[in-house]
Structure 1
């Protein structure tokens, strides 16, 4: 049983963090962001390499936020895979004999892959981008797995490791290259912003799709293993 001192320490820590958060929110409220931030964004949008303001913020002006988000996803995928009690994330037992669904997927899979490519390309000037395209790729993989289609890239090995970290690795490499060149971290060279953002988003799409699919696959396999052990 924990001592009262531990509870008091946790309570004081929560109060301190709440006070710091309240102070930060108060300072943000005092800043007239309703007029200043949109103006700054519009004035620098042409130099961002893309035409959509959300993509410009996520992949250029505040790209380090996106880099950290991808790092969290990669870590989560690695933890999920390591906790899966199976030698392969492709579970051969989870298959369906529904011939109609399998025939339907032969039409759906190409359409979903085409939609993922469109979402990736559209992110430059309209809603879309790597996260939406990656989620579409993951959904395609989930449907393929539920019908027993082969997913060799989910087998533990070099291909899986590369796929999980590919987008993050390129993102980090671009940031380090700009820092070594004497620029700010993740500052794109003039004239190369659009090409670098498109390259980063393309690899991020593949990595995000694989990460989400690996998280989906690893959790049910783990639960099934625990259930079987409980029955024994």
Structure 2
């Protein structure tokens, strides 16, 4: 069975090598292009400018990939086991000390992303780590929030991206092409929502299935 896939793998690697060696030369210096257009980006960090403004499509698709991955995991099974979990004294004390630090650090990275290394994915990863610690300690989502509220939170990052782009289209602008005067506000709003969405998605992926009600 394993030998049947060897020709396909060989064909894949040959195609990959060919694609790498036939990449076209860049027509222009991208770093210089970003530097020239920083004034209209709304932020002073070039990485954030590229990810949330100049190449916002890429970030939108990355959020979409996370959401699709979670949908795939949720389609496999429902996690409705709410048995009491004893995390142990060490993990319990560590989680009580680290979770607040992770949440504050996530907020700092989100705010600092406009002018320094940071941003939604870094902040969301810290929120996801905080969620994993809470799950390991036996914390579970209340039944009131396992349905529509949780789904809205998970889709909020992609949703705000799409709604912003649609609003710009209605205003006779290009999709995700923010007006320079308010670009910084758009970037901050999208990053804040994406942070919450990424953190919730990563924690939900760790659970390994769709959270069910305790009565299920």
TM tier, shorter chain? 0.7 to 0.9
CA distance in 2, matches of 1:11, 1:111: 45
Match among 189, 198, 211 for residue 208 of structure 1: 198
1:224 corresponds in structure 2 to none
Checking the alignment, whether the CA contact within 8 Å between 2:157 and 2:193 is kept in structure 1 is yes
Change (3 A) 1:126 1:154: farther
TM-score for both structures, normalised by structure 1 = 0.78
Q: Does 1:109 align with 2:99?
A: yes
Across the two proteins, how many residue pairs are aligned to each other? 208
* Greater C-alpha radius of gyration: 1
Q: What SS does structure 2 have at the residue aligned with 1:192? A: helix
Match among 111, 120, 124 for residue 121 of structure 1: 111
CA distance in 1, matches of 2:67, 2:134: 22
TM-score for both structures, normalised by structure 2 = 0.84
Match among 105, 125, 142 for residue 152 of structure 1: 142
Give the CA RMSD over aligned residues: 2.9
Compute the displacement of 1:174 (Å). 0.9
Q: Does 1:194 align with 2:184?
A: yes
How far does the alpha carbon of each residue in 1:77-104 deviate from its partner, in whole angstroms, 9 at most, with x for none?
1111121243x3xx42372241343233
In terms of mean alpha carbon deviation, does 150-159 or 102-111 score higher?
A: 150-159
Match among 159, 169, 180 for residue 170 of structure 2: 180
Q: What SS does structure 2 have at the residue aligned with 1:49? A: coil
Unaligned segments of structure 2, at least 5 residues: 212-216
Q: What SS does structure 1 have at the residue aligned with 2:157? A: helix
Match among 59, 68, 81 for residue 75 of structure 1: 68
Highest relative contact order (Cα 8 Å, sep 6+), 1 or 2?
Answer: 2
